[in-house]
Structure 1
Amino acid sequence: MTSGPVIALSPAWPATTLAEATARLTAPGMKFEMEEVAVRGVPTRVWKNTPPSLPWLLTAARAHGERLLTIYEDERVTYEANFRATAALSAHLARAGIGRGDRVAIAMRNLPEWIAAFFAITALGAVAVPLNAWWTGGELAYGLSDSGAKLLIADGERHERLLAHYADLPSVEAVLVARATTPLDGHATRLEEVIGTPHDWSALPDAALPLVDIASDDDATIFYTSGTTGAPKGAVGTHRSILTNILSSGFSAARSYIRRGEVPPEAAPRVALTVIPMFHVTACSAHMMASIATGSTTIFMRRWDTVRAMEIIERERVTLTGGVPTIAWQLLEHPDRDRYDLSSLEAIAYGGAPSAPELVRRIYEEFGALPGNGWGMTETTATVTHHVAEDYLNRPDSAGPPVAVADLKIMDADGTTELPVGEVGELWSKGPMNARAYWNKPEASATTFVDGWVRTGDLARLDEEGFLFVVDRAKDMVIRGGENIYSIEVENVLYAHPAVTDAALVGIPHRTLGEEPAAVVHLAPGERASEAELQQWVRDRLAAFKVPVAIRFSEATLPRNANGKVLKTELRQLFAD
């Protein structure tokens, strides 16, 4: 059985306008009531009931008790067990000298330890620095050096990648390693010596979190993104930034009920199969915060496997999955889908990559589940718009309307003229979810973060009702299955090859991943290099998802306009079928 009964959609939809739905939900005394506060000196609408800090949320969530927080293979961690592990780890970090404002990095795959580490760090007023677990050792070392991390919590695989780099990272005073498979030496300690394995957490002593006075606008996170300069930039988020998504998610869901003419139900625990990495704001903020607030269960997989995912959905009665469109496509098109009972699925939500209107329709028709999408970025700590249910089915090419605390505007290239409805320009976004700045990059911060607004670099338009349509990216970037690949980073690696004198990276369409990276290179006279050789050259220096899937060779230097910019539209034609 592949799906349950198709969720009935009201023929009278919409029963109310977006504005009317928002007014009802945000009225005084309602759960989604708003107020205006000064955030870094800028008057900003915020959810009045947003939790004040991450340790406040963790302590409140302890009330979920024996409900399961995470499932990973045979490890089933309850909310109570997670709290005990987090409290123990936080106390250990405090004894190690970690305090307010110190940066502590996390470099590991999706594991129960990731959540405990994140909350243990932020409970001290320290700043959690989630690093991309797909990065090479050199890329991880850059993140540690750039952030000035004082301590690293890593899994065994990431620790092994960094062994050759620790000597060049004097700021890293200690390393805690989870699930190490080789002997540790130097300043590394097994995390299990501090808190045991997840199987042991429920037996840890009952202890409170350290008492630290934390304000909503104190720094909490540094999530790394990349820019057109090629160097990753750390977007500094606050406790308010990351916790805003709890009510943003709830508001969007409630708005869909109001639009349908129904009374929104109280938030209930869900079971989510989460396959997007926790080092992304989508998983950490948009998913994890709301999940913990509602007492929901998050299931991790070591790696994505469609058959294994369907087995988990059937066995654990998963109600929500997704992450990027790739996941939905693979579930829809797997030849063995009919062998599994996927009827528990209520929603398949994703973001971070373009999705085809066909996918929206098929999720609803074949799974009986409601599709969900949205728009956000690292600099906005994920969610700014949400697109769900009938609104998404009726506008499948939109990213949805903004949540009530967010403002969007479309600006001309001059950065001062706001464009009218329907015109395409640069998308600017404002709201309490915005990061405050880039870490130690004042010039880049001044360009991107302007009077409470984030200049996104996306080219977009808004329609009469405020629905967002992203039409292109002003920033030179390829998005492969939700992973950002900045062209200049790959181009610089290709340029470093002794045979290459000209190079450009472009995105080519891919049905399930959205797009993939491909390169065009021009070799120096008399030099030779094969496609495989150049792909290996990139693979040795960058994460695997950044390696061009195809490389074409141009006999002439690459075409450029009068300003010297490569005409990538012409280059994409080289990869047309």
Structure 2
Amino acid sequence: MLESKPWLDLYPKEIPATLEYSREPVQEYLEHAARKFPDRTAIHFMGKEMPYKQLYEEALCVASYLQQSLSIQKDDRVAIMLPNCPQAVISYFGILMAGGIVVQTNPLYTERELEYQMKDSGAIAIITLDILYPRVTKVMPQTNLQHIVVTAIKDYLPFPKNLIYPFIQKKQYGIVVKVTHEGNSHLLSEIIQANSKEIIQHEVNPYEDIALLQYTGGTTGFPKGVMLTHKNLIANTCMSEAWLYKCKPGEESILGILPFFHVYGMTTVMILSIKMACKMILLPKFDALTTLKTIHKQRPTLFPGAPTIYIGLLNHPDLKKYDLSSIDSCISGSAPLPVEIQQKFEEITGGKLVEGYGLSEASPVTHSNFLWDVPRVKGSIGVPYPDTEAMVLSVETGEPMPVGEIGEIVIKGPQIMRGYWNRPRETEEVLKDGWLYTGDLGYMDEKGYFYIVDRKKDMIIAGGFNIYPREIEEVLYEHPDVVEAVAAGVPDPYRGETVKAYIVLKDGSTVTAEEMNTFARKYLASYKAPRLYEFRKELPKTAIGKILRRTLVEEEKQKLEEERKKQA
């Protein structure tokens, strides 16, 4: 049944089993959109709109400056450390137009995390916010970074918000950073104002040339750069467009809350929007009330998201004050979608919300439930996308498992990465004969629907973010009073999972959870830092001394079950 691809029998007639992919680089999508829909709004940001013609021209200005003033050559890495804002889109396409490779960087990264990623990628330039400028300058001497291009949120705000925002920024962050356009510091506003659009057109092989280094821990360990080619990203974008067969190019609006530094938001919001000439309604971060107001006023039709976003909206006390009926289609990813959330959100909006599945190594989407015309299946991640194959293999033997039997899910398709940046051994571990070994355990039913039941490794998914225990433990072990430490994902009703640290302290130590939390947050982004701490005299171990993380997680689940029984 695996060889026969039973899921293809479920496809509506509008979705082909295989697609044709153009042999062009990703940046060509923007040129096509600007030529066909020059006056169509490409981006709406906090009340200000930018048409496709302007977006294309400003991306050209960035490309020209990168080549002529910063000497960016083909395949040089250029990092983007920005929230969702017009500058993030301009920079992304500008880097690709210049022939560079984009390195997506989380603006929440601490100096330690930023230094690691810049060293590993070898990025020679970074585009970032003014308030992040001090953080970047501190790590520059330890990296290959030679240039910082700086922008400010106010630069793309409408009047009078652009005048008010600096005061809000000072109140919120306690600093106002002023950067001058000189030396190795460059202002994006000056680059755009110079209006130079002359670029060297590098020849691009979409099948071989890397467009993006997307950092992920894969299934375990420190973050690795996933090498995604132009073909990978184009394939996944075309697959997503085919899945949304009722949506019309040039007419849709997509709500862009998913961060573009995460591959899910980058593909299903940013690139897909450009491909379909949609209007991107960007929000720099998720705030439930702001999101409700934005939906009410801007009337988006598409809303890719994560369960925590939908949960946050549904639980807001003012939910009923806002009209969400414009929302037609939502695909949820990054974490399991509770059925009750799916049903409630559809009742409120009148649209469709379905669960999908993917991973950074697959650009990212590989599976999804159908939005229309096919009955949904509860608890399933859906079926493979067009041109995507999936199997379930025995963890012990590597042989295909019968229908309904649990094993490791492996995937093959044109969206699968080239490998990990400068890590051939790790690449060989997950890419075998073109198949990506996901590290996720699941099964397929007789119709071809797939289900995830567990993770092969111990990666934590909290609020849609992938968090890797080893990275947290390395930080905890640096505390002088810590003897042993282990981080684990424990159940959380809102985030799906939350990070809990189990710690054994030195004899006589009086360190508190508050002190440990302060220490951890110096070196870890806020979403990675443990929310819970438990101090123990000893941790459960195997006979050879390996700490049993899963035992701790099971203990946590048992405690929750006992509490539920008491309350019942």
Normalising by structure 2, report the TM-score.
0.88
Q: Which residue of structure 2 aligns with residue 41 of structure 1?
A: none
Which residue does 2:233 correspond to in 1?
242
- The Cα offsets for residues 178-223 of structure 1, whole Å up to 9 and x where unpaired, read as 1283234651111111014xxxx9xx57x57642221111111100
Kindly indicate whether the alpha-carbon contact (under 8 Å) linking 1:427 and 1:456 is maintained by their aligned counterparts in 2. yes
- Matching residue within 353, 359, 366 for 1:377: 359
The SS at the match of 1:504 is strand
Judge which range, 557-566 or 123-132, deviates more: 557-566
Tell me what 1:561 maps to. Answer: 542
CA separation in 1, counterparts of 2:311 and 2:212? 32
Structure-1 separation of matches of 2:334 and 2:184: 37
CA distance in 2: counterparts of 1:440 and 1:232, whole angstroms: 12
Distance 1:534 1:393, change over 3 A: farther
Q: How does 1:311-350 map to 2 (within 5 A)?
A: 311-350=293-332
1:195 alignment partner AA: I
Is the contact between residue 430 and residue 452 of structure 1 (CA under 8 Å) also seen in structure 2?
A: yes
Give the aligned partner of residue 221 of structure 1.
212
The 2-side partners of 1:210 and 1:78 are apart by 25
The match for 1:190 is 187
- After superposition, give the CA deviation of every residue in 1:39-90 in whole Å (9 maximum; x if it has no partner): xxxxxxxx31346211221211112211111111133111100000011111
Question: Map of 1:461-540 to 2, 5 A cutoff?
Answer: 461-540=443-522
Equivalenced residue count is: 526
SS at match of 1:537: helix
- What amino acid does structure 1 have at the position aligned with 2:188? L
C-alpha distance after superposition, 1:447-476 (max 9, x if no partner):
112221111111111111221111111121
Alignment of 1:147 onto 2:143: no
1:456 aligns with 2:438: yes
CA distance in structure 1 between the aligned counterparts of 2:330 and 2:13, rounded to whole angstroms: 27
Residue 282 of structure 1, CA deviation: 0.4
Cα 1:103–1:382 change in 2 (3 A) is same
State whether residues 72 and 300 of structure 1, in contact with CA within 8 Å, keep that contact through their aligned partners in structure 2. yes
SS in 1 for 2:54: helix
Structure 1, unaligned runs of 5 or more: 1-16, 27-31, 35-46, 255-263
Letter in 2 for 1:246: T
Alpha-carbon distance, 1:527 to partner? 2.0
Report SS of the residue matched to 1:320: coil
Give 1:164's match in structure 2, choosing from 115, 138, 143. 138
| 2:406 aligned with 1:424 | yes
* 1:541 correspondence with 2:523: yes
The residue aligned with 1:112 is 86
Q: In structure 1, how many angstroms separate the alpha carbons of the residues matched to 2:211 and 2:221? A: 25
Q: Is contact 1:411–1:418 with CA below 8 Å preserved after alignment?
A: yes
Q: Show the counterpart of 1:55.
A: 27
* Match status 1:230 vs 2:221: yes
Q: Secondary structure at the residue paired with 2:133?
A: helix
SS in 1 for 2:244: helix
Q: Which residue of 2 aligns with 1:102?
A: 76
TM-score by length of 1: 0.86
Preserved CA contact (<8 Å) 1:320 1:345:
yes
Q: 2:160: which partner in 1? A: none
Distance 1:108 1:48, change over 3 A: same
> Would the aligned equivalents of 2:355 and 2:382 in 1 still touch at CA under 8 Å?
yes
Name the structure 2 match of 1:137. 111
CA deviations on 1:136-177 (whole Å, 9 max, x unpaired) are 1221121111111121111223322122111122x2222211
In the TM superposition, residue 426 of structure 1 has moved relative to its aligned partner by 1.2
1:69 match:
42
Q: Give 1:515 deviation, angstroms.
A: 1.2
